[in-house]
Amino acid sequence: MKNSYLIIMAIILGSSFSNMKAQTYKADADKTVIWWQGKKIGGEHRGTIKLKSAELEMQNNRPVGGTIIVDMTTIVDTDIDNEGMRKRLEDHLKSDDFFSVEKYPEARFEITGSEIKNGGSIEITGNITIKGITKTLEFVSDLTTSGEALIFKGNIEIDRTLFDVRYGSAKFFANIADRAINDIFSLDYELYLKKK
């Protein structure tokens, strides 16, 4: 009887320690997609940007740490048909008026924690760095699985002026009127990861 009790306790404790152990997942950059959207008075622009790399530490079905790096040099517009106009916008977004990608070719997000919310979504907290400026960011993500892969999906809204991206901002240019560009840009993402 005593031996049976010890075996049961060992199984329970072993299972508990197994649940506590974090597992590392690495992103599949080819399957991951990030869409951006910026709005202005009377219009908007949309496009994509590529993931450079990502590794997440998963524990009890939520991320407890990790780093996500985006390649800022890959900003592409997808809503302008005219090739010349499209290239002008892309070059402008990469210039010092916006994201200064020659000097700051990467943006990164460092996960510091997360919490599973009602309904199963995950609130993720961390530090985002754009143009060398770091701010705290929280957003909600949905997590699904496909075989052994993890797929995070969601939307992030970012105030660009917090990262010294001031071009066309009514916050800094009082007489800009109907040429103002919204301070908030959004990112929709599908992040695919596999166990490392």
Its domain, for residue 187, covers 22-195
| b/e code 101-128 from CB counts within 10 Å (16+ = b) | beebeebbbebeebeeeeeeebebebeb
Q: Is residue 69 a part of any domain in this protein?
A: yes
Q: What is the CATH number of the domain that holds 90?
A: 2.40.128.110
Task: Spell out the per-residue pLDDT of the chain, length 196, in tens.
Answer: 545 444 444 444 444 444 568 899 999 999 999 999 999 888 999 999 999 999 999 999 999 999 999 999 999 999 999 999 999 999 999 999 999 999 999 999 999 999 999 888 999 999 999 999 999 999 999 999 988 899 999 999 999 999 999 988 877 766 665 678 899 999 999 999 999 8
Strand partners, 177: none
Enter the pTM of the model.
Answer: 0.85
Q: Is residue 10 a part of any domain in this protein?
A: no
- Per residue in 9-65, pLDDT (tens digit) is 444 444 444 456 889 999 999 999 999 999 988 899 999 999 999 999 999 999 999
Q: Is residue 13 a part of any domain in this protein?
A: no
For the chain, how many structural domains are there in total?
A: 1
